[in-house]
Amino acid sequence: MKAKEVLELLQISRPTLTKYVKEGIIKVHVLPNGRYDYDKESVYQLFNKGVERKTYIYARVSTPKQKADLENQIQMLKQFCFANGYSVSKVFSDIASGISFEKRKDFFRMLDDVLAGKVERVVISYKDRLSRVGFELFHHLFKKYHCEIVVMSEVGSEKLDSEEIFEEIISLLHCYSMKMYSKRKGEKIKQILSEGELPS
């Protein structure tokens, strides 16, 4: 980080910045031209000292027709946060494409807070709710500002009751379909044997 950026972020004077560097509170890298490159991690550690960092929820659907789905998505995220002991500070949501960022006003409001170091974690239901493309880029960016992206669908040990029920239904349907397949196959064999026809 440049000195100007550090001074603006921390709202300190240049002598104070020099003092922090000398005391090792803020680490620096000396560039070939002799200028300082201020270590972003140590700057944000100082910035966040004594500040309660927040948990945000972000939800998204593609079209206005999916507004009910958006509400369900938000409720499931709230339940997930409650179950995991996260106190939700804000809920952000957009009705917009996951590929284009043109109409995603809430996403950019949330991003501003992440880049300001105010957010400890952002909770989403699936990766594509944040972005259908370039998720790893956002993961890397958020990590730089000490913000974790929690993907609800990937937290295997902390499933919601509704998710467990859904998985049980799928499992039962699979078992049922296998039984039906076996039954039909058995009936076909009996029919062939009764007709005295064996496959060549």
C-alpha angle 103-109-114 in degrees, rounded to nearest 5: 130
SS3 per-residue string spanning 114-143:
HHCCCEEEEEECCHHHHCCCCHHHHHHHHH
Please report, as a single letter, which amino acid is at residue 91: V
Distance in angstroms (rounded) separating the CA atoms of residues 192 and 190: 5
User: Do residues 129 and 77 make contact, with C-beta atoms less than 8 angstroms apart?
Assistant: no
For residue 61 the two structure tokens come to: 């659907």
Catalytic residues: 62
Please report, as a single letter, which amino acid is at residue 52: E
Q: Residue 44's closest CA among 26, 67, 19? A: 26
Distance in angstroms (rounded) separating the CA atoms of residues 80 and 96: 24
Distance in angstroms (rounded) separating the CA atoms of residues 136 and 151: 13
Distance in angstroms (rounded) separating the CA atoms of residues 13 and 25: 15
User: Rg of the chain's alpha carbons, rounded to an integer?
Assistant: 27
